Amino acid sequence: MSEAQVRPKMRRETLRKLGMVVGAGALALVMGPRRVIEAACSRKPRLARYAMLVDLNRCIGCRSCTVACKAENQVPLGVFRTYVHYLEEGTYPETKRYFAPTFCNHCSEPPCVTACPVDPVKGVYKTSRGEEVEYERRATYTRPDGLVLMDYDRCIGCHMCVKACPYGARFVDPSRKAGGDPSNNTVGKCTYCVQRLDNGVVPSCVQTCLGGALIFGDLNDSSSEIAKKSRKAKVWKPKEGTKPNTYYVGLTHEAVLGEEVKS
């Protein structure tokens, strides 16, 4: 075969291979975005799981968290959403005091929600990315980001949730009436300052903690400080099976959270 005959054949073969490459590339361009779209449509919303961590090695018992909570949430006199327990040991001059702030634990298995007799309705939670998630909402309910909250307009004042909480974190709110009934009151509790969280601000107690003992964040963010430190932390009354989302570092004297608490 002459050189003049070989060259056209080589050109045809080169063009054929080039066409295959271009065709495959075009197919990839078409299929690629389609797969991205399908993945986006099937993707579940990324939800936070908010939690609090208390480093008792840094708590100085100043009670600024309690004061900040009262100021932020207009908590009435005589009741507390945040409370600092303390325990004294020894006799003078060899004495020591231990501190332990407590909040609503925003449990993953909250008995207060189970105890609420109000019929559930559908609620819609909007994530920070604008995604909407439906959930059941009683007078006491768990939001998809893990917060255990109150719907005061639906609370009937039965106080079953107060009795169900093994931590004493709920109280009858003397300033708020249930359903307009002057003889009955709704329930109050720590909300992790949900009004601040929804605006990208940490709870007031965290912001004002003088010793830097309070750490707040998202447990579903593996790179967050709270996700890392909570792995070696303790929770209050683990045998209750409520799976609390308030954690304690340096809890060497559990009695500070028990029957022996002095206040």
Q: Outline where 166-254 has alpha helix (H).
A: 194-197, 204-208, 225-229
Residue 263: inside a domain? no
Q: Which domain holds residue 92?
A: 50-257
- Domain match, 1 and 59 both: no
Q: What is the CATH number of the domain that holds 57?
A: 3.30.70.20
Q: Which position has the token pair 């939800």?
A: 47
Residue 108: inside a domain? yes
Distance CA 195, CA 107 (A): 19
Residue 138: inside a domain? yes
pLDDT in tens, 158-196: 999 999 999 999 999 999 999 778 889 999 999 999 999
Helix then strand then coil, % of the chain, to nearest 5: 30, 25, 40
Q: Which residues pair with 53 in a beta bridge?
A: 215, 247
| DSSP element (H, E) containing 114 | helix 111-115
- Domain match, 123 and 58 both: yes
Best CA proximity match to 68, nearest among 246, 185, 214, 221: 214
Q: Is 104 within 8 Å of 170 (Cβ atoms)?
A: yes
- Domain match, 122 and 236 both: yes
Distance CA 186, CA 195 (A): 19
Distance CA 168, CA 236 (A): 12
- Domain match, 113 and 155 both: yes
Distance CA 44, CA 144 (A): 12
At residue 131, what are phi and psi to the nearest 5 degrees? -80, 145
Per-residue tokens: 162? 């107060």
pLDDT of residue 32: 56
Torsion of CA 12, 13, 14, 15, to 10 degrees: 50
Q: pTM score, two decimals?
A: 0.78
- Domain match, 29 and 145 both: no
- Domain match, 147 and 128 both: yes
- Name which of 4-18, 63-77, 93-107, 159-173 the model is least confident about: 4-18
At residue 260, does pLDDT exceed 50? no
Estimate to the nearest angstrom the gap between the alpha carbon of 122 and the chain centroid: 20
When pLDDT is cut at 50, 70 and 90, the band that residue 128 belongs to is confident
| DSSP element (H, E) containing 84 | strand 83-91
- Domain match, 96 and 194 both: yes
Number of domains observed in the structure of the chain? 2
Contacts 24+ apart (CB under 8 A), 136-141: 138/113, 140/110, 140/112, 140/113, 140/115, 140/116, 140/187, 141/113, 141/116
pLDDT in tens, 28-65: 444 455 554 444 444 667 899 999 999 999 999 999 99
**What's the Cα-to-Cα distance from 140 to each of 37, 123, 179, 189, 260, rounded to whole Å?**
37, 12, 15, 11, 30
Q: Which position has the token pair 């054929």?
A: 16
Residue 262: inside a domain? no
- Domain match, 9 and 62 both: no
**What's the Cα-to-Cα distance from 165 to each of 114, 187, 191, rounded to whole Å?**
10, 12, 15
- Domain match, 158 and 229 both: yes
- Domain match, 81 and 29 both: no
Question: pLDDT > 90: what percent of the chain?
Answer: 67
- Domain match, 187 and 214 both: yes
- Domain match, 2 and 65 both: no
When pLDDT is cut at 50, 70 and 90, the band that residue 253 belongs to is confident
